[in-house]
Structure 1
Amino acid sequence: MSTSPAGNDIPVRRIDRILAFMSLGMVVLSIVCFVAIIIGTQAGADFSQRFWVTVGTIVYVAPILAFLLLMAVLIMTFVRKSRANKKPGKRR
């Protein structure tokens, strides 16, 4: 909950948008690769080929990278908001 008026919101930076959409893209890519593995299994594909090894690796690695990107966005947002809320002349 924010007590500040809507006009004082901190604008979203370009890097925040880029990281957020990269995170979303990684999750979507992982889901697409997972579905491809399911379809490949039903079709009797040879999973020892290089393509399927890459698809299988993406299924494992992409969600982890998406989570790390999302954490980076959250940490950057919290740091930026805490710096914006500090009063210049006020010390504890």
Structure 2
Amino acid sequence: MSTRTPGEDLPVRRIDRILAFMSLGLLLLSVICFFAIMIGSAARADFGTGVWPTVGVVVYIAPILAFVLLITVLVMSLVRRARANRGS
């Protein structure tokens, strides 16, 4: 186990913060689009025209991209911690 004190924790980098917030934003966008599709279905909207095809694609693609971004942040953080522990 590591003998580091709690005050010696590594600072959060800007790229980590940006990727984490992008992941959260994509998940939020996906949920909003999902509810828009539910409301559009109740209103009997024509999903073949307008912005509806884009909204439908966002529901499928955004959670996958958010997961990839979250895994990227996790891997980058683990690599950074491993390098810091190896150096001390």
Indicate the TM-score class for this superposition, using the shorter chain for normalisation. over 0.9
Unaligned runs of 5+ in 1: none
Aligned-partner residue type, residue 51 of structure 1: V
SS at match of 1:47: coil
- Seen in structure 2, the aligned counterparts of structure 1 residues 2 and 35 have a Cα distance that, compared at 3 Å, is farther
User: CA separation in 2, counterparts of 1:27 and 1:49?
Assistant: 24
Cα distance in structure 1, aligned partners of 2:65 and 2:71: 10
Please give the residue correspondences for 1:41-80 in structure 2 after superposition, counting only pairs within 5 Å: 41-80=41-80
Please, what TM-score do these two structures have when normalized by structure 2? 0.94
> Residue 17 of structure 2 corresponds to which residue in structure 1?
17
Match of 1:26 in 2: 26
Q: Which runs of 4+ in 1 moved over 4 A?
A: none
TM-aligned CA distance change 1:2 to 1:40, over 3 Å? farther
| CA distance 1:39–1:3, change in 2 (3 Å) | farther
User: What is the deviation of 1:50?
Assistant: 3.5
Distance 1:42 1:79, change over 3 A: same
Are 1:37 and 2:28 an aligned pair? no
Tell me the SS of whatever aligns to 2:51.
helix
- Shift of the 11–39 alpha-carbon distance from structure 1 to 2, 3 Å rule, reads same
